[in-house]
Structure 1
């Protein structure tokens, strides 16, 4: 293009460019139309708790007021982009003429680099009007520049300088997906724009002209900006160029894609809140607190408690890392309102599955369902808290074979009260209790409690339902314990402040709920299983239960005070078993820490019993339980409890049953697997005789109270008196691979 043609084009643009200009929108309209890429989850006090990315194509935060940006940033940007911004009327005519001449000189074959002439006002005009912008890869001709100049002049006649600068700061693209000063400041320096210093401001200013430039090129331009500022005012706190180079190398490549921005305390709760909103309102954004700010979702979460829950779970899981534990989840619910106060779905960076929400994940319940079983039995008046249950070997025919429940410690305690059986989490008494209530009634009661994940029939779960052989969600488990805290009344939880509380329904009687809560708070009744001093004991009233699923894949602790319910799960999202993590080592310490924090200022008070309950002093005979005051549903009270008398004087075999098939468990260490034999009544002067025939005959004699390390084969067990007379004989089989050296060579006959 010749010089003459260039100048002619420049002159003709006066008429051509004006025709493309459009009346600019008002400042208020532009600010109101600003759409952040993120939504905010607010806690119950209205404080930001979690930032949630909605628009994956752009990173744009709330509208930033000019007064909330640092003076260093404002000065650096003006120096870099438009030095006479505060003086000109939208167009810097001197810079415009120089740019035109540079372009003409370049057209004549000169080697001088052309310079830009776009003022901040002209750039904003192009950001507001797509027709004024060059398409990607398209050269910016002088006609388009002229159109921008005319639009800028029109903009300056309608907006103030501060409004133009503020809008430009919020609309200008920086690097990659980042748009606006709020996102740029957060992405590269992790701070608000009002905290940017001169070095940070110079780097951001250098990015405006060449957003995709290398770190070295950005640093070079930032150094030039600092040099200009130093010439203008030597007293400014300006960093040396070497510092800028180091900052550019460290920050820019690492932040090429915007990372998750703060705050980030409740990611799983935020995603669930977004899902709830979308289900109810479609793609309509929730309201914002102010024009141009992020849409907000209001939650019931307590920000302080949420952060404390995160910290507690992380701290404890780090301590369990050597025991192959990496995941956990936690929920806190207000008993009265049902408000969810804390929702921690995972262990975050400790987990290989941080996106999985452990509060909603299906995991095996373990012993955590036992309180509801005993509540049903007490309500049905099939048991009282003082009733005796036999904790001795039990073998029951099931659909898939013989069901043999075992206690966690592989021990048997004989006759125990229901109070001790529940508080100490004994498995065999729980199975016997399920036989009293019936499987179907217990299954239906669990469904009424809100365990919607019980999708199979009652027959499918069978007797294992007493021991938690079903998958449940931590959310449902916590709310079921809240039902006990609320004297048997159940309703849903609230996650949003705008959500109406659900209708209440009675699931258990007030009497049965109180008695079970009283049992779960009894550290004396808990002592046979956990000892008197353990992590479940709190200095104020709480009711709590632990649970561990088969193979130590899940560990639970759920319980309530007079005001709150807390439930914790610890395990591995992958399903891998933990290594030697007991009920009081896994989830319980986190549960206790949360309860202590919740009641730091107001200790939980012991609930008052319902007026319909009867308090009776009970004495036990023939068993090792001390006299105590016990609670009874009216009409079921007793004052003395003992084993049922029997006329039998000749001992008989109670376990194993004739025809029993025992399967060796490969998950139990060989030295720990023992098969107990049981006679009634117990006679220490009697003994057992074991015989195996076939190709590997074997005969073993055992004392009356001695258990046996089982070996594969077909066995005959005889009960013999002191003179060697056989009183009774049963036959049973052991299946599986040998776990230890045979006992037969010892010839224990």
Structure 2
């Protein structure tokens, strides 16, 4: 009570004084206001180096600041050894003064007066921080007064440790080296918290005389200053005698160290987004070093074939974190070493095929074993070719994917629709697929579009995470599952809330797609992987762009996604550059660095078990040989098998018959697998078990069904005439598939007879330029025709 009365009386006297001395009060208030705001909110406005660290805190690389100085952003703490060294060398009373030391200043003035020049400053560390922040000011007594005032204000607003942090981050250490952390790397090649007492002592004396650090110069002076500080530390009991004796025996730094550049292209990315900051990344330090070694090894191999660039990206599926980032090979400037390939748009080759396969499964337009045509194809002047230039006639959809066959992929896209698939790709956020669907057409599935490693790895990471979460949550999805990849350690992804609605693809179709991708043929040396329990189990896909300019490989298991690109940044192709031979070996070497993972669990809640035709892969009819198979939810509503039909044969099973030529009691009814003529033509060469329809028995021809179709050319084809070495125009070779091999076919061009064929129905005909109509007639008068355009080159 007595204290409160005293306090009230004091404030009353102050108020009375203010009322009586308004001008003095206003002046004092204004001075206090100026004093309060004399320190800017941001004390140092210099540009900083961009610094990236691994998830463990190891330095991955740094980029010089815009003013040409190596100046790292201030750290949260200064190592204790350096604190003691700098305080004992520069300012013993640092923890006891209010920002300036009157005794030190008086001594400095006296020494300067006797010397007739400035030989000692008498500044505290706090004053030195102020002087560093007011760069370019002359060292006069007037400036000293300002420094003292600002130093006291700094002491009021900052803790002693924060002041030391500011000093350590901005003190000059010789040349363009600014700050303790950069000096530690430059002169000793380690982080500041790893420095010895002797090394800390060297750095403590350097800001006082930074010119002493130049290698080969002033070594004696630098050694004397360092050892005097070490002796003082020993005398003050900071270090013991043994530490002192060992420290003075340590050599001084000589040749400067280069900064680590372990992830230079990730540094570029960080500098573009967050210049002048210290970014702790998600990169695994040990893994990054190992992946760098792999990149260097393959670069040295591939440059022999004039392939100079490659990129590797490794993603943790759980959180979409980048755990290894190699943006380019260790090549040279002539071969674009500074280009970050990971974000560069490149032709996709076949890398989008799994997305089409999954979309068709998800929409119920396809089953995993559905036969897809693989025959010579021409669509509106577009003629796709398989990589090996052969045809299977018909191939199960999952095998077409695992073998990366081009013609089945184009025909599947034609069935699914280019516009529809384009919209699907937009949901995956593939940024470089940004032209209209008409611009790409059917070539969209074969590399007609461009994408980049970042987006593609993000897509497969999101699909893998979708499947993982569905199984983990007993059949649920997350609303924001399709998230961006991340390289910042402190970033917490938000995958949204649980929902029963899929994002883009259902878990069942993703799982079926990954099973097909697991079957992709392994690179050379790993062909027998299926026979070993310890084999690396991943879903993966390769891609090779037109002209062998880009080689891709992307793989995933339940925890990691690895993406590889190999080629030339200039776009120059090389004959031997393919996804399987160039990118796939790197992919498997990187996966072998990662912990082994279990295969994806089966998402039974998004699958249906149905009976499918064993031969065609379609939903089975009554008369089909059947097997059971897991399909997507919508898969149970796909088309039933169109290739099985009932036929009547004689008891020898060698001829088809009917009631006009065979008694009914001798007719056998049998289910027969029959493909369309062109498909059957190529299919039977790959499948010796395929049995074409038996011919009709003599006398039954009137009721037989004849199958006949063109193999080449296709409808409305444009045919280019070629010449031989003697400049002679070569004939066009027309081909027809015909179910009655022993019968003749008769050929006409524009209703002019050109000859007949038997057994092998291939007809070479000399053609003239222009539009023509080809007609083929069999012995029974059945006829097929085709309009073509012949162009002379």
Q: Same fold (TM over 0.5)?
A: yes
The residue that corresponds to 2:550 in the other structure is 554
Contact 2:707 2:739 in 1 (8 A): no
Match of 2:615 among 620, 638, 656: 620
TM-aligned CA distance change 1:311 to 1:643, over 3 Å:
farther
Contact 2:53 2:59 in 1 (8 A): yes
TM-aligned CA distance change 1:731 to 1:66, over 3 Å:
closer
The residue that corresponds to 2:562 in the other structure is 566
Q: Which deviates more from structure 2 when the two are superposed, residues 361-370 or residues 379-388?
A: 379-388
Contact 1:90 1:153 in 2 (8 A): no
Q: Is 2:384 the counterpart of 1:412?
A: no
Question: Once the 2 structures are TM-superposed, how far is the Cα of residue 440 of structure 1 from its aligned partner?
Answer: 1.2
TM-aligned CA distance change 1:437 to 1:349, over 3 Å:
same
The residue that corresponds to 2:18 in the other structure is none
1:432-511 to structure 2, matched below 5 A, reads: 432-485=411-464, 486-487=466-467, 491-495=482-486, 496=488, 497-503=490-496, 506-511=503-508
TM-aligned CA distance change 1:531 to 1:655, over 3 Å:
farther
TM-aligned CA distance change 1:571 to 1:96, over 3 Å:
same
Alignment partners' CA distance in 1, 2:227 and 2:54: 46
Question: Once the 2 structures are TM-superposed, how far is the Cα of residue 477 of structure 1 from its aligned partner?
Answer: 1.6
Alignment partners' CA distance in 2, 1:316 and 1:66: 41
TM-aligned CA distance change 1:645 to 1:656, over 3 Å:
closer
Question: Once the 2 structures are TM-superposed, how far is the Cα of residue 268 of structure 1 from its aligned partner?
Answer: 4.4
Question: Once the 2 structures are TM-superposed, how far is the Cα of residue 373 of structure 1 from its aligned partner?
Answer: 1.8
**1:550-577 superposed Cα distances (whole Å, 9 cap, x missing partner):** 1121111123212333322222222222
The residue that corresponds to 1:16 in the other structure is none
Larger radius of gyration: 2
Alignment partners' CA distance in 2, 1:162 and 1:382: 67
The residue that corresponds to 1:3 in the other structure is none
Alignment partners' CA distance in 2, 1:403 and 1:395: 5
TM-aligned CA distance change 1:551 to 1:418, over 3 Å:
same
Alignment partners' CA distance in 1, 2:568 and 2:53: 30
The residue that corresponds to 2:675 in the other structure is 644
Q: Is 2:333 the counterpart of 1:333?
A: no
Question: Once the 2 structures are TM-superposed, how far is the Cα of residue 186 of structure 1 from its aligned partner?
Answer: 1.8
The residue that corresponds to 1:604 in the other structure is 599
Alignment partners' CA distance in 1, 2:247 and 2:54: 39
The residue that corresponds to 2:513 in the other structure is 516
Question: Once the 2 structures are TM-superposed, how far is the Cα of residue 595 of structure 1 from its aligned partner?
Answer: 3.0
Question: Once the 2 structures are TM-superposed, how far is the Cα of residue 546 of structure 1 from its aligned partner?
Answer: 0.7
Alignment partners' CA distance in 2, 1:354 and 1:530: 30
The residue that corresponds to 2:329 in the other structure is 347
SS of 1:394's equivalent in the other structure is coil
Alignment partners' CA distance in 2, 1:186 and 1:676: 72
SS of 2:373's equivalent in the other structure is strand
Question: Once the 2 structures are TM-superposed, how far is the Cα of residue 419 of structure 1 from its aligned partner?
Answer: 1.8
Question: Once the 2 structures are TM-superposed, how far is the Cα of residue 367 of structure 1 from its aligned partner?
Answer: 0.3
Question: Once the 2 structures are TM-superposed, how far is the Cα of residue 168 of structure 1 from its aligned partner?
Answer: 6.0
Gaps of 5+ in 2: 1-31, 96-100, 233-240, 471-476, 618-624, 645-672, 678-704, 723-731, 748-756, 778-782
The residue that corresponds to 1:91 in the other structure is 104
Alignment partners' CA distance in 1, 2:173 and 2:441: 62
SS of 2:351's equivalent in the other structure is helix
The residue that corresponds to 2:622 in the other structure is none
SS of 1:435's equivalent in the other structure is helix
Contact 1:388 1:643 in 2 (8 A): no
SS of 1:405's equivalent in the other structure is coil
TM-aligned CA distance change 1:561 to 1:217, over 3 Å:
closer
The residue that corresponds to 2:342 in the other structure is 359
Q: Is 2:168 the counterpart of 1:176?
A: no
Contact 1:419 1:519 in 2 (8 A): yes
- Give the total of aligned pairs: 632
Question: Once the 2 structures are TM-superposed, how far is the Cα of residue 426 of structure 1 from its aligned partner?
Answer: 0.5
Q: Is 2:718 the counterpart of 1:660?
A: yes
Question: Once the 2 structures are TM-superposed, how far is the Cα of residue 270 of structure 1 from its aligned partner?
Answer: 5.3
The residue that corresponds to 2:128 in the other structure is 127
The residue that corresponds to 2:305 in the other structure is 323
1:268-287 to structure 2, matched below 5 A, reads: 268-269=265-266, 272=269
SS of 1:551's equivalent in the other structure is helix
Question: Once the 2 structures are TM-superposed, how far is the Cα of residue 406 of structure 1 from its aligned partner?
Answer: 1.1
TM-aligned CA distance change 1:689 to 1:346, over 3 Å:
farther
Question: Once the 2 structures are TM-superposed, how far is the Cα of residue 434 of structure 1 from its aligned partner?
Answer: 1.5
Alignment partners' CA distance in 2, 1:83 and 1:471: 64
Contact 1:547 1:555 in 2 (8 A): yes
TM-aligned CA distance change 1:214 to 1:306, over 3 Å:
closer
Match of 2:376 among 363, 378, 393: 393
Superposed CA RMSD in Å reads 5.8
Match of 2:636 among 618, 634, 637: 634
State the TM-score, normalizing by the size of structure 2. Answer: 0.63
Alignment partners' CA distance in 1, 2:314 and 2:282: 11
SS of 1:559's equivalent in the other structure is strand
Gaps of 5+ in 1: 1-21, 104-113, 279-284, 286-294, 665-674, 691-700, 737-749
1:508-547 to structure 2, matched below 5 A, reads: 508-523=505-520, 526=521, 532-533=527-528, 539-547=535-543
Contact 2:609 2:628 in 1 (8 A): no
Question: Once the 2 structures are TM-superposed, how far is the Cα of residue 372 of structure 1 from its aligned partner?
Answer: 1.8
Contact 2:508 2:603 in 1 (8 A): no
Q: Is 2:352 the counterpart of 1:369?
A: yes
SS of 2:553's equivalent in the other structure is strand
The residue that corresponds to 1:680 in the other structure is 737
The residue that corresponds to 2:586 in the other structure is 590
The residue that corresponds to 1:313 in the other structure is 295
State the TM-score, normalizing by the size of structure 1. Answer: 0.66
**1:44-91 superposed Cα distances (whole Å, 9 cap, x missing partner):** 6677655566664543343563633399x769x95xx899999x9853
